[in-house]
Amino acid sequence: YESIPADHPLLLRLANIAADNGVPIDIHFDPAVAEMKAPEWLEVPPNPAAFKANTAAFERLIAHNRNAKIGWAHAGSDMLGHWTPALSRRMLAAHPNLFMSLRLGPGRAQMSFPLLPNGQIKPPWLALFGEFSDRFVIGNDQFFLGRGVSGGPAATFAQRASKVRHNANRFLAALPPEIARKIASENARRLYRL
């Protein structure tokens, strides 16, 4: 596990560069709303034994330059268990330059995963997607292996890619069509200027 403070001077500078050039930036950020002991599965050195609260620093980054479009990567695949619809709603309401990319793959904290086993979307998440339908995109980071690559983290992530794509299709099929269209393509075209 690696992290730097979200309001680190270099990230604030990156926000300014992104704003000046009209390009969004994606931030991989695992929220810890309060200090917490590391989850059992992360209790392996050199990972930290505890995580400090970090959402205030992330909000300082987002607010630093409101012209910077900040993408919060991996909604739906929370590793610490704090990324809830309530937190998402509060952050989206407070920060008009924030959007979220959904990663609908295997995650540790299933309360953040928006799909139920039957393929329906959990009601709190569905309400959030309806309320902020112009602020979500399907996550765009997938792993594909080149010839001759057979091991390591890239291979592990590549093995999960088909499940992520399958879940994304299930997710989009469960949304009302107008919201699915926005999240599947229209928002990405607008935010990434495609």
Read off the pLDDT of each residue in 93-111 and give the average, rounded to a whole number.
80
The reported pLDDT for the residue numbered 110 is 58
Angstrom distance (rounded) from CA 115 to CA 126? 10
Q: Which residues of 12-50 are buried (b: 16+ CB within 10 A; e: fewer)?
A: eebbeebbeeeebbbbebbbbeeeeeeeeeeeeeeeeee
Angstrom distance (rounded) from CA 39 to CA 23? 35
The reported pLDDT for the residue numbered 106 is 59
Q: List Cβ neighbours of 48 (8 Å cut-off, separation of 6 or more).
A: 1, 38
* CB distance 114 to 121 below 8 Å: yes
As a whole-number percent, the residues of the chain with pLDDT over 70 amount to 95
Mean pLDDT of the chain: 89
Confidence of residue 39 (pLDDT cuts 50, 70, 90): confident
Confidence of residue 45 (pLDDT cuts 50, 70, 90): confident
pTM: 0.89
Res. 139: pLDDT tops 90: no
More confident position, 142 or 179? 179
As a whole-number percent, the residues of the chain with pLDDT over 90 amount to 57
Q: Which of 17-31, 66-80, 135-149, 154-168 is the most confident on average? A: 17-31
